[in-house]
Structure 1
Amino acid sequence: MKRHLKWSLLLIIILLLTGCAGKRELNDLALVMAVGIDKGEEENSFKVTAQIARPADARGQTGAPSGQTGEPILTIVGQGESLFDAIRDLSSFTTRNVFWAHNQVIVINEDLAKEGIAQVIDFFTRNPELRMRTWVVITPEKASTLVSTVTGLELIPGEAVNKLFRYGEISNVAPNTQIMDVQAAYLSQSSQPIIARVALKEVMVSNKKPEKGPTIKQVDLAGAGVFQEDRLVGILKPEETRALMLFTERLKSGVVTTPCPSKPERTVSVELRDQLFQVTPHLKGSQISFNAEFDAFAMVVEAGCPFSINNQEKVSELEKAVEKKLKKEIETTVNKVQKEYKTDAFELGKVFQNDYPGYWMQIADDWEEVFPTVDIKVSINVEVKDSVLLWEETNSGKKENSAN
């Protein structure tokens, strides 16, 4: 009896043991950190640029170890009739197995995006090795150039773009688009994809030649691309993108700068806090309309002219100026997307579907034609409640400047 029990326990333990048949050694892998996709040299072909990390050279050391280049990344390019074909081309001259699970960002050239990104969406959502939370961006630059640009603070360019989005909520100039968001919007009947836009901009100063000013290009958040199904149909500037993101994302803060009421040559900046943006659909007969209401508390973070939070007249003037500027920005973006691009990047179809599912079934197939005709009314309410640490005016103590 004891012998049978021992053999049974041994058999159970053997069955529970995990094998190592599918293991992959780290030294055998080429870790892709970013990928750029351009049009290939041949018609209807793709060029894929993979940014691969060099673990031995990405430690911040000044001298290259023996057998290494000292560069933190290796950039390789493959071409093919399809994305998979181009990626297989990478394997023909890579000494390691190309591994995609650590990829941080997919960069798509705008010329390719204008022709359609359906194949990009299909490939990067079908492959089980790829993560659905990978960032997706478009760029007017060659994608191969952007993914190989080394940034100032991060050793790996792909990691730099990843952190741009993680901390980009401070500036709110580009949406946080991941491949899962793009796929969901592409497959949806009620909304269209929007993708963050990045570009190379001379913003970094050389420490060796600071007198020349910014001369080194870095990756810069530069608004958003608006799509009709899988084709890029328009570009939104950063200030227009902020207005778009009110409809699609929950923004924590924002900054509005407006001229001083008494001194138009100077400015006052307020930071918007506790923002609430709500879109309400209405159906009257067959006429569809939306009310977009924006409420926020604001605090004065910089005053180029004398300002006191206790002066209710000045506070009221500032509130009206901020409301006017915000309304103009939102209405300008709404008109551009609705009338010029004629694509529902605001996800208003989804909002209408939630409140009127029955009527939505009647118009779902025609929403592309209906959306440009709907009425969108914008109302803004901003209350300036705080002036940070300075509640009184900041005036010079000199008599000759006291009136300025």
Structure 2
Amino acid sequence: MVPLFKKKNLKLIICLTLLFLTGCWDRTEVNNLALIMAAGIDKSKNNMIELSVQVFIPRPAESDQQNGMSSRTNSSQTFVRSAEGETIADAMARLQEVLTRRIFWGQNEVLVIGEELAKEGVSDQIDFWLRHSEPRIRADVFISKGRAKRVLESMPELERDSAKQLHELVKTQIGVKVTVKDLAQMLSGESDAAVLPWVEKLPAAHLGSNKRDTPFINGVAIFKGDKMVGRMDAKATRGILWPRNEMRSGVITLSLKNKTGYISLNLLRSQNELVPTITNGKWSMLIKTDTALEVIQNTTNLNLFQPEIIKEAEQRASQEIEDRERLAFSEAQKKLNADIFGFAEAFQREYPEVWKTKKNEWNEIFRQVDISFHTNVTIEKTGLATGKRNRGETQ
């Protein structure tokens, strides 16, 4: 038996705890929010900032009564609204005036900056994203050819909207992926340079019968300080990823000397290291690459189980990687003078005292840095087929 006074104390404690249970009195229903999926920033015609947002339209899923599976409506699930202001904050306040629901940034995964604005500088726009408590600093950042608003308005076929399209493209890890946080760190780093994915409209030849505007990533935009100074195509972009240690997936197709056909190699893993040296006033950088590949197609007559054939293929793959890196270095170092590879940080870590006295001269030093490569490629898997003539036979 529990004593009576203990029962009363227990009841009193339960009543007191109820006072601290707030419940959902201050909840905000999703139907009262304007869910922002993507944002675009442009320079307007009257020299103001134009903020465009892609707003999600909540809809219940439609059921297919015949097969019991849900299906999406053909109509768009998003719409785009824009407003102009002296700053992004000013534009956002004006945007709220034309939306009946409160702007909610919690779902925003994409930030697109228009080409014209990017050439003038993006530091003020990134400053807003970092200071404001609602926009996500993990949102992926892109630079668009032309106006960012046009990218938000595009309607891809496979994905729900352009925001989803761009977000999924960078998740494939075949190109550069940069968040707002990453961009802020690059702009404040010793290199004083940045690289961002470049977005264009997919050419009509790739669209088939449906000619919807579809955004795709075609290389990168190069920044010196906070201003866009140039861009590189998709091929040169590959040469950027290796030294930055950001190569996660990809296929290398090569041919061997005096042999017909091709061998396609898939990337399994890659580890890169920057090794800086300063000798007698000469600044040098060694790019060390250790890569593992697998054969995914062989259209030659060669037997890839022969060690000498594999060794030759590894040498050709190594040369292919270095050629791509040299192409990227040539454009970044000689043409744009933008250290997008993180050389400055590598020299700072290795030679902190020298860096203190030379950092203000980095723009001139970077142009003269001597670059060399040490690339080790290993083909770990060759598959079962021995060659085009012997396809289907196994060893």
TM-score by length of structure 1 reads 0.85
- Measured after TM superposition, the shift of residue 312 of structure 1 is 3.4
Greater alpha carbon shift after TM alignment, 130-139 vs 244-253: 244-253
Contact 1:58 1:72 in 2 (8 A): no
Quote the Cα distance in structure 1 between the aligned partners of 2:205 and 2:36: 26
Q: 1:55 aligns with which of 51, 55, 58?
A: 58
Residues 267-287 of structure 1, C-alpha deviation per residue, up to 9 Å, x if partnerless?
A: 322223332211111122432
Q: CA 1:33/1:317 → structure 2, altered by over 3 Å: closer, same or farther?
A: same
- Measured after TM superposition, the shift of residue 8 of structure 1 is 7.9
Number of residues of Structure 1 aligned to a counterpart in Structure 2: 380
Contact 1:269 1:302 in 2 (8 A): yes
Contact 1:31 1:53 in 2 (8 A): yes
AA aligned to 2:254 is T
Partner residue of 2:216? 220
Quote the Cα distance in structure 2 between the aligned partners of 1:12 and 1:370: 70
Quote the Cα distance in structure 2 between the aligned partners of 1:338 and 1:8: 75
Greater alpha carbon shift after TM alignment, 13-22 vs 248-257: 13-22
Give the alignment's Cα RMSD to 1 decimal. Answer: 2.8
Give the alignment of 1:25-104 within 5 angstroms. Answer: 25-43=29-47, 45-56=48-59, 70-104=75-109
- Measured after TM superposition, the shift of residue 360 of structure 1 is 1.9
Quote the Cα distance in structure 1 between the aligned partners of 2:359 and 2:282: 15
Quote the Cα distance in structure 2 between the aligned partners of 1:327 and 1:381: 11
Contact 1:261 1:317 in 2 (8 A): no
Partner residue of 1:279? 274
Partner residue of 1:138? 143
Quote the Cα distance in structure 2 between the aligned partners of 1:260 and 1:369: 40
2:312 aligned counterpart, secondary structure: helix
Quote the Cα distance in structure 2 between the aligned partners of 1:332 and 1:50: 37
AA aligned to 1:137 is F
Q: CA 1:72/1:387 → structure 2, altered by over 3 Å: closer, same or farther?
A: same
TM-score by length of structure 2 reads 0.87
Contact 1:141 1:200 in 2 (8 A): no
Contact 2:162 2:214 in 1 (8 A): no
AA aligned to 2:376 is N
Quote the Cα distance in structure 2 between the aligned partners of 1:239 and 1:15: 64
Greater alpha carbon shift after TM alignment, 29-38 vs 237-246: 237-246
Quote the Cα distance in structure 1 between the aligned partners of 2:281 and 2:25: 63
Quote the Cα distance in structure 1 between the aligned partners of 2:20 and 2:366: 58
Partner residue of 1:161? 166
2:268 aligned counterpart, secondary structure: strand
Quote the Cα distance in structure 1 between the aligned partners of 2:283 and 2:73: 66
- Measured after TM superposition, the shift of residue 142 of structure 1 is 1.9
Structure 1 unaligned regions, length at least 5: 65-69, 398-404
1:120 aligned counterpart, secondary structure: helix
Partner residue of 2:182? 181
- Is 1:381 the counterpart of 2:380? The answer is no
Quote the Cα distance in structure 2 between the aligned partners of 1:341 and 1:184: 20
Aligned identity (percent) is: 25
Structure 2 unaligned regions, length at least 5: 63-69
Q: CA 1:175/1:248 → structure 2, altered by over 3 Å: closer, same or farther?
A: same
Q: CA 1:371/1:11 → structure 2, altered by over 3 Å: closer, same or farther?
A: farther
1:393 aligned counterpart, secondary structure: coil
Contact 1:205 1:215 in 2 (8 A): no
Quote the Cα distance in structure 2 between the aligned partners of 1:339 and 1:193: 16
Q: 2:338 aligns with which of 319, 323, 343?
A: 343
- Measured after TM superposition, the shift of residue 297 of structure 1 is 2.7
Contact 2:154 2:212 in 1 (8 A): no
- Measured after TM superposition, the shift of residue 63 of structure 1 is 6.0
Contact 2:259 2:300 in 1 (8 A): yes
- Measured after TM superposition, the shift of residue 40 of structure 1 is 0.7
Quote the Cα distance in structure 2 between the aligned partners of 1:367 and 1:9: 68
- Measured after TM superposition, the shift of residue 13 of structure 1 is 2.6
